[in-house]
Structure 1
């Protein structure tokens, strides 16, 4: 099977076409990674740190090439692409230092002489399955910590981000078998899950559940990030203009193709009317446009199927009585563009209120008070990121304690991730331990307890 990746801003532009290796090719890649892993661990923390540092330097030195490739392959607006590139460099450097992180502790024995040690050791080969929306940063924030602690990595990127992954691995310049990219689709993903020792997945809920089931059958560690149906709560005392700007960025930025994007806006009490007006104007001022332009915030959606799914959902919602307050139409240009949409009066059981659509579309809801707003926000199985907008810090912090989301952002867009902090959602949004920060180092290692007794001891 040929994996073909097209430019979503110019569907006639074929970015890359490569042959998928099939299950046998994945098995061969994992075998090479397994053979390389003992040597990669044995070179020591300093050498691994230096190698990850060189990877950061190489990515930084080729920044403009990678930014242009990101814009071309996944339609990311150039300003966001530059931000992702900078974050990618920072992540490589952050985890280069993680090679020196403590790998265990010394404990007092319950009785007698000796030492009790806990020590964390790498599993072996990490299998990584990554999406297309952050084609440099997500492969890096999965691979770099796995490599830092001594695993080798086999990465299967989403087909739509194949060129970015291949170039990233090439620039990283790690030894043979230490970081391998296997292009492909479902067959290659399943083969990777079946052959590696620890798995990290980011993608759709359906595929994520299948990955979790397959790893559970094998008894290996897994973390799965499966998106979010994220809410934003706007209280009457909020700075409405600021909140509208934050919400527009979280709805329309990168065409809403972030797992932390806002798709449900909950206006509390008297905030509804002014917020509806301000947010509709902010979205109208954020048109879908060429991602290569520096002024663009909302580029194309990833492919024609995504565009059809979004326009169909908007059409069915309006047919059911919803009202479009902004956007919702295909942009009159080549490429897969949708004008950012805001709808009100969407029925409670409509998919736009219950499912993640991964596009620049949000529904506006009204809550009589904060209690109702929190109940609406929590009424989902996909609680990843929620934003709260209020001038009253006490109210915002109290709301944060009651929200189910894995991340709560106060007076900030729901979108946005700090790579040095744990990342993940609640309920069905995530499975397993957190990604990013120092927490992920534990995920890529197994704890061992070692007992050391004096020679000739009787214990």
Structure 2
């Protein structure tokens, strides 16, 4: 039997979990059980579903330290960030525990005569969720909790590297059999889930995301796909350079840059280039790659050997093409898959590091003569998820926000970081379909139906 083996990226000899891959047949069986369970789950009503999600939040909170330790161990997330993710996970379950009581439609007057016109939102049935490893608790939660709140059941296919976290999340949630099912596996299981679910939500790579969208669209089912971002930070000459450097360093090196909202391109406008270069180089050097279990660590390991080798190869290629390494650029001298936070200048515009998401603690520094050029650089990518703008001028920040293509724009803050009660998503090829999180998520997981109620005996 094929197994899914998940290893500790800080200690590659540490096998966290070995779980049987369920195969396509196992996914089909899980969908069948979820479809049968959905009828009873929906029949619980708003109060029943709300109570169940509230109990899940309480159970996860009670197991908080266990989940923190598991997150640090399985995906190498630094301790402080792991604690933040667990707290956010609990908060998301509590937030969506109130969603069953939200209005599920509207009442309208008919165009003429007596009667009522209603719109009502109803669940699709089985939600198929395909999730990544970098937020092994929060992303499955912000997909599953709204889907469950409005009456769907869920089949979750986590990334192999986050299998233990997903299994424990579902176990602690304690929902009725078939309501939240985890199917360990890889590409075969993901494809089977997309081929069989009634609605699909995906977060992962662009290449796989496009396949998911094509399959779901071909079946005529709703689909959303978050496919990462090549995120820029614009730093204006009037910025507080020390503050901006601290924000940028956190967005580049935090969790080894393994966030879809991480900063990978720093655009220094005009006279900002020299002081920003100095401040940011210094700030990154103060965030060395270190053991994730330490409370002081910001940059832990990257997820596996393949990720580390891809990053080192890209850095070497950029250097060969004329780039200058301002800081980092080397593997840390310790066991595990560690790369020192890296900042490069003079990277050719056509080089992959300037055009592709590499998902690591690496950023390129780009000069721009003025704000117009900076905005053109920031918008000159197909993956505009998040952009940050750093300036003391509110007028400048608002003008930039109006012209940037990104789905999320943060002023005087790191590009990384989201508010789970607000819509999350990018522009252009970064995202497809409806936004995630907030009340937008419950709309995605429900279909609108129009009901006409007319008096008996009336001809319409």
TM range (shorter): over 0.9
Using the alignment, how far apart are the partners of 1:270 and 1:110 within structure 2?
A: 62
1:331 aligns with 2:299: no
Cα deviation for residue 363 of structure 1 reads 0.1
SS of the counterpart of 1:349? Answer: coil
Using the alignment, how far apart are the partners of 2:431 and 2:184 within structure 1?
A: 25
Q: Give me the TM-score of the superposition, normalised by structure 2.
A: 1.00
SS of the counterpart of 2:181? Answer: strand
The CA deviation string for residues 102-130 of structure 1, in whole angstroms up to 9 with x for no partner, is 10001000111111100000000000000
1:311 aligns with 2:312: yes
Cα deviation for residue 74 of structure 1 reads 0.1
Q: 1:351 matched to which residue of 2?
A: 352
Matches for 1:34-433 after TM superposition, within 5 Å: 34-433=35-434
SS of the counterpart of 2:176? Answer: coil
Structure 2, unmatched stretches of 5+, are: none
Q: 1:16 matched to which residue of 2?
A: 17
SS of the counterpart of 1:188? Answer: helix
Using the alignment, how far apart are the partners of 2:459 and 2:275 within structure 1?
A: 78
SS of the counterpart of 2:18? Answer: strand
Cα deviation for residue 456 of structure 1 reads 1.6
SS of the counterpart of 2:419? Answer: coil
CA RMSD after TM alignment: 0.4
Q: 1:445 matched to which residue of 2?
A: 446
Cα deviation for residue 458 of structure 1 reads 1.8
The CA deviation string for residues 8-55 of structure 1, in whole angstroms up to 9 with x for no partner, is 000000000011010000000000000000110011001100000000
Runs of at least 4 residues off by over 3 Å: none
Structure 1, unmatched stretches of 5+, are: none
Using the alignment, how far apart are the partners of 1:331 and 1:354 within structure 2?
A: 25
Cα deviation for residue 166 of structure 1 reads 0.1
Using the alignment, how far apart are the partners of 1:159 and 1:328 within structure 2?
A: 28
Using the alignment, how far apart are the partners of 1:272 and 1:83 within structure 2?
A: 33
Q: 1:4 matched to which residue of 2?
A: 5
SS of the counterpart of 2:35? Answer: helix
Using the alignment, how far apart are the partners of 2:459 and 2:360 within structure 1?
A: 67
The CA deviation string for residues 54-93 of structure 1, in whole angstroms up to 9 with x for no partner, is 0000000000000000000000000000000000000000
The number of aligned residues is 459
Using the alignment, how far apart are the partners of 1:364 and 1:238 within structure 2?
A: 16
Using the alignment, how far apart are the partners of 1:450 and 1:339 within structure 2?
A: 59
Using the alignment, how far apart are the partners of 1:102 and 1:151 within structure 2?
A: 17
Cα deviation for residue 451 of structure 1 reads 0.7
Using the alignment, how far apart are the partners of 2:290 and 2:302 within structure 1?
A: 11
The CA deviation string for residues 152-211 of structure 1, in whole angstroms up to 9 with x for no partner, is 000000000000000000000000000000000000000000000000000000000000
Using the alignment, how far apart are the partners of 1:217 and 1:184 within structure 2?
A: 23
Q: Give me the TM-score of the superposition, normalised by structure 1.
A: 1.00
Using the alignment, how far apart are the partners of 2:44 and 2:383 within structure 1?
A: 42
Cα deviation for residue 331 of structure 1 reads 0.3
SS of the counterpart of 1:405? Answer: coil
Cα deviation for residue 389 of structure 1 reads 0.1
